[in-house]
Amino acid sequence: MEERVPREFDTLRATILERREVLPRRIAQIAAYALDNPDDIAFGTAASIAAAAGVQPSTLVRFAQQFGFDGFTSLQSVFRERLRERNSSYDERLAALREKAEGEGGHRAILEGFVTAAVTSLEDVSRALDEKRLEKAIALLAQAGTIHVLARRRSYPVASYIAYALGKLRIRNQLIESAAGLSAEMIGFATAQDAAIVVSFSPYAPTTVEEARALSEQGVPIVAITDSAFSPLAQFASIWFEVAEADFAGFRSLSATMALAMALSVGVAEKRRSGGRP
């Protein structure tokens, strides 16, 4: 029925994730591509999207119909509307912030916007987090000889904080970064007796994905923090957490992600002290 067609991006995304286990293989393939590459879906042509996703153009139509749309163009409009603001340049975003400040009470309004987005993110992660998954992740990390921490770009502050916190808690860790380009060598020291925390959000940093793959191939258990069941990190992770940060004027904070990072770090220390690992 028409009222069941997901006209908002968040609703469409939730519907795709809810059905991901039962989607036909090719439909699941384009669904994964769509959530990992929303910009391409919003602004690409049917031919370019199909080629990039490795499917036939007709699959795009079947993908749209799977979720109640009459054709791919109708579904594409949902991606376009959702990403209209996010795809603006940073100059345009700053202009939007200035306009909001002038029209709604100065820069205090900007602060309130970011605070509201942060509160929304924190409430969402608190409500959605699976407690058993959190306990399992902490137990896995507590048994590790060394915890390797990996992230790039927007996610890097999370990795840096985790390494800092683990160091203060006297837990052996290795932040995978190297000005000399020795990340591959650092990863090469990781073993199955260690563990890794990997953080990345769409559009996933290619280096992070490849290094996570390398860790997985070495038998290193991975705890991933990401934003989708279709994230490339999910396939490498022993345990993964989905964190969706709310945005304000196209900017996203790391409030919920940092809260989860703090919980993992302190939880590992507490687990070790209580006998989780000598």
- Average pLDDT, whole number, for the chain? 86
Q: What is the spatial order of strands in the sheet that 239-242 belongs to?
A: 173-175, 147-151, 195-199, 222-226, 239-242
Task: Map residue 198 onto helix, strand or coil.
Answer: strand
| C-alpha 23, offset from chain centre | 22
In the predicted structure, residue 98 carries a pLDDT above the cut 80 = no
Q: Kindly state the average pLDDT of the residues 251-264.
A: 92
Q: Can you give the pLDDT at residue 103? A: 67
Whats the size of the chain, residue-wise? 278
Q: DSSP letter at 109?
A: H
Query: 124 vs 82, which has greater pLDDT?
Result: 124
C-beta separation of 264 from 241 below 8 A: no
The answer for residues whose C-beta is within 8 angstroms of residue 175's C-beta and 6 or more apart is 149, 159, 160, 163
Domains of the chain in sequence order: 2-83 (1.10.10.10), 123-276 (3.40.50.10490)
- The total of other beta-carbon atoms located within 10 Å of residue 47's CB is 10
Q: What is the pLDDT of residue 44?
A: 84
Sign of CA dihedral 142, 144, 147, 148: negative
**For the residues 69-94, what does the mean pLDDT come to?**
73
Residue 169 has pLDDT above 80, yes or no: yes
pLDDT at residue 3, rounded to an integer = 45
DSSP 208-269: HHHHHHHHHHTT--EEEEES-TT-TTTTT-SEEEE----EETTEE--HHHHHHHHHHHHHHH
- Residue 150's pLDDT is 95
Using the structure block, give the residue that is written with the tokens 């519907």: 15
Query: Which tops the pLDDT comparison, 198 or 37?
Result: 198
Distance CA 236, CA 233 (A): 5
How many Cα atoms are found within 13 Å in the side-chain-facing hemisphere of 152?
14
- pLDDT at position 156 over 50: yes
Name the DSSP class of 272.
I
Range 41-47 contact pairs with CB under 8 angstroms and sequence separation of 24 or more: 41/76, 41/79, 42/76, 42/79, 42/80, 42/82, 42/83, 42/87, 43/80, 43/87, 46/72
